[in-house]
Amino acid sequence: MATYILPVLHAIFIWWLLTGLILYIDGLPARTFKWSMLACTAAFVFCLYGLWTSAGDDTVSGVYAAFTYGLLVWSYQDLTFYLGFVTGPRKKACEPGCRGWRHFGHALGASLYHELSIIVTLGVVVALTWGQPNQVALWTYLVLWWMHESARLNVFLGVRNVSEEFLPDHMEFLKSFLNNSKTINLLFPVSVTVSTVAMVLMVLAILDPATTEVEAVGLTFVAAIMGLAILEHWFLVLPLPVTAMWNWSLRSRTPHPAVTEVEIVAGFLGAGKTTVLRQRLEHARNRAGSVALVTDCAVLSPDGTVQNTPDGKRADLPGGAVCLGLRDDLAHQVKEVIASRQPDHIFIEPSGLADLGLLVRVLNRADIRPSIKAVHLTVVIDASAFMGDYARLPEFLKAQVQARGQAEDTPAGTPVPLFIVNKADMVDAVELATVTKTLRTLNPSARIVTAVHGVPEGASGAAANDDTGAAADDLESGIGAPALPRSGALVHHHHHYHHHHYHGGGPDEAVSAKMTGGADASAETVVLDLHPWTDADQAAGADRERLTAVLEAVAGGRFGAVDRLSGTLRAGGDWVELAVSDGQASVTPCAAPRPDARARVVAVGHALDGVRLRQAFDGAGAVAVAVGEPA
């Protein structure tokens, strides 16, 4: 009986152990990945050598060695994938609604290099075992490959359990290819039936009296690993708590003691959220224990210096605080920061279009929330722009104010938000009252304070930072608020999705006057400050042909009655000048402006649709980002 039982027990133990080790290693902080990869690659080379030597050993011990080396060689393929070193050309999630062969192509692109690596390694295994009496390592590798491809297809087509909790944070984009919308799919019975028939044939061969002991042990190993692979397939469709078998391997993702407070500082670009964030950092009780996760580190860096590190952008701030570029894998980044720095405060400044509900859900994950002492949500509102934005985007603004994002309901554990109604000096008492009343209606539980330059009225910076809610009176209603001074000729200063929209005079009168050429005083002016998000984008800039198409649409009145449009930006790596005048559009090369120049487009006319105009430039390859005042 030892001929049959011991190989089965050995196969089960090695399979369970290696699966857990892979989960443990890819759950460690990202800074350890290169060292893990280096050590495992050295072990992989040793296993290939062991596989080669065992191929010529046709004893029982040689069969045990060949099976173990074959399983280790396969495990290396899985490890390189889940550590993120050998994946595919696609590194992002699939768009919602993507279906069919297009979706399959995206899924293949996410793991193409991994699949090719498996084939190359198979060739190496075949070469090392060619003509040798012990082929157990090769057969083990082939069975694992077959079941690997079968499992991937089944998960893609739809099964009950996709075990996405085992997916490391840095590979979160793969979740868009995991389909749990079905309990089972048509491929599943085919996969299980074919594999079961193959296993039964191996069992019959094992029981054949003509089979030698060495052959029986080898077939038992291969049949056992096939049986385990079939069991894994059943795990995909049966309502069983299979993840409990590897709970020990998730200790690398175990939360640290709750020592960190997290504050999300959100708001549209131009509302003043960066100003608020600077004040938070400046007056933090322990500045050296503060970390800011922001979209653009340069806006917080005192001299604009940003370092490129293996973990992303970084800027050192006064007092020992650190600014890190906000990554797509936020959950993994937060866990890394807590594990490596154990900060007192983490400030997160997402983009103006970020899903706040999703951010809250990430921070409330079971592997993150126990490490966080408290979560605060501060939303900075531009008093002069909010009502205009709300009129255009009611559902989006309502979801953001209620901190539920795209979800139907506000996520459990969502903190009571603090609304800082900034730029209160730019509106009169009636408009300010309308803003606060609207916010109160949308979220009755929220605290609301008015502010000028990000500082709540009647509060010092330090006091505001310690407890912003107590720093100024919570506005139950703004009706009785005193009239606030208006700001020069600026009547409406809307930041509709990162653009400036002025009536009459504006803050950049030199640009406007040069371009408008005496346009009437009732004309509207839209200023688009366009600069790419990344250095790579900055080199490429916008696409010239699509820019021309956008300008022709402007001339045709698609974005309102545009009297004139002028601007400069990069297109194809060179600076070009854009112009629309008298219904004619042009894109002409021009000399490079000063080194610190930023791409900018100014449009003057009536009933201008600044949001759609900005979106049109986005589609041409430029990303609109407001400059000139803090975000």
The whole-number pLDDT of residue 144 equals 95
Q: What percent of the chain has pLDDT over 90?
A: 33
Q: What is the mean pLDDT of residues 294-323?
A: 86
187, 211 Cβ separation under 8 angstroms: no
Q: What is the mean pLDDT of residues 484-501?
A: 35
Indicate if the pLDDT at residue 629 is higher than 80: no
Q: What percent of the chain has pLDDT over 70?
A: 79
The whole-number pLDDT of residue 204 equals 96
Bigger pLDDT: 81 or 521?
81
Mean pLDDT check: name the lowest of 86-90, 268-272, 299-303, 501-505: 501-505
The whole-number pLDDT of residue 594 equals 58
Mean pLDDT check: name the lowest of 105-114, 300-309, 350-359, 530-539: 530-539
159, 236 Cβ separation under 8 angstroms: yes
The whole-number pLDDT of residue 575 equals 77
The whole-number pLDDT of residue 77 equals 96
Token couple for 272: 């003043």
Mean pLDDT check: name the lowest of 31-40, 88-97, 121-130, 220-229: 88-97
pLDDT digits (tens, 9 = 90+) for 529-545: 554 423 334 435 456 77
SS3 201: helix
Token couple for 330: 């936020």
pLDDT digits (tens, 9 = 90+) for 136-168: 999 999 999 999 999 999 999 989 888 777 788
**Pair type for strands 290-294 and 599-606:** unpaired
Q: Where are the beta strands (DSSP E) in 385-520?
A: 418-422, 447-452, 455-456, 494-495, 500-503
Mean pLDDT check: name the lowest of 25-39, 49-63, 376-390, 538-552: 538-552
The whole-number pLDDT of residue 508 equals 36
* Cβ neighbourhood burial of 491 (10 Å; 0-12, 13-18, 19+): middle
Q: What is the mean pLDDT of residues 575-590?
A: 82
Bigger pLDDT: 354 or 261?
261
Which range of 95-109, 199-213, 514-528 scores highest in mean pLDDT? It is: 199-213
The whole-number pLDDT of residue 210 equals 93
The whole-number pLDDT of residue 353 equals 65
For tokens 């389909």, name the residue: 179
pLDDT digits (tens, 9 = 90+) for 330-358: 877 888 888 888 899 999 998 766 778 77
SS3 449: strand
Q: What is the mean pLDDT of residues 211-233?
A: 94
Helices (H) and strands (E) in the chain, counts: 19, 17
The whole-number pLDDT of residue 409 equals 56
The sign of the dihedral angle between the CA atoms of 611, 617, 619, 622 is negative
For tokens 């590979």, name the residue: 171
Bigger pLDDT: 60 or 166?
60
Q: What is the mean pLDDT of residues 395-402?
A: 73
Global pTM value: 0.50
pLDDT digits (tens, 9 = 90+) for 356-391: 877 888 888 777 888 888 899 999 988 888 887 777
Mean pLDDT check: name the lowest of 5-14, 286-295, 390-399: 390-399
Task: Indicate the length of the chain as a whole number.
Answer: 631
Degrees, nearest 5: CA angle 239-244-245: 110
SS3 467: coil
Which range of 113-122, 404-413, 425-434, 480-489 scores highest in mean pLDDT? It is: 113-122
Bigger pLDDT: 412 or 193?
193
Bigger pLDDT: 556 or 575?
556
The whole-number pLDDT of residue 565 equals 83
CA distance 469 to 464: 8
Q: What is the mean pLDDT of residues 180-209?
A: 93
287: alpha, beta or left, given left = phi > 0 and alpha = psi -120 to 50? alpha
Bigger pLDDT: 157 or 507?
157
Indicate if the pLDDT at residue 520 is higher than 60: no
Token couple for 190: 């085919």
Token couple for 277: 């964030």
pLDDT band at 618 (very low <50, low <70, confident <90, very high): confident
User: How many angstroms separate the Cα of 144 from the Cα of each of 72, 274, 480, 613?
Assistant: 11, 52, 73, 53
Give domain 260-471's CATH superfamily.
Answer: P-loop containing nucleotide triphosphate hydrolases (3.40.50.300)
Bigger pLDDT: 464 or 450?
450
Same fold, 260-471 and 494-619: no
pLDDT band at 6 (very low <50, low <70, confident <90, very high): very high
In the chain, what's the furthest Cα-to-Cα distance?
102
Topology classification of domain 494-619: Hypothetical Protein Yjia; Chain: A;domain 2 (3.30.1220)
Domain map of the chain by residue range? 2-253, 260-471, 494-619
CA distance 328 to 625: 19
Spell out the long-range contacts of 42-47 with Cβ–Cβ below 8 A and sequence spacing 24 or more.
43/72, 43/76, 44/72, 44/73, 44/76, 47/72, 47/73, 47/76
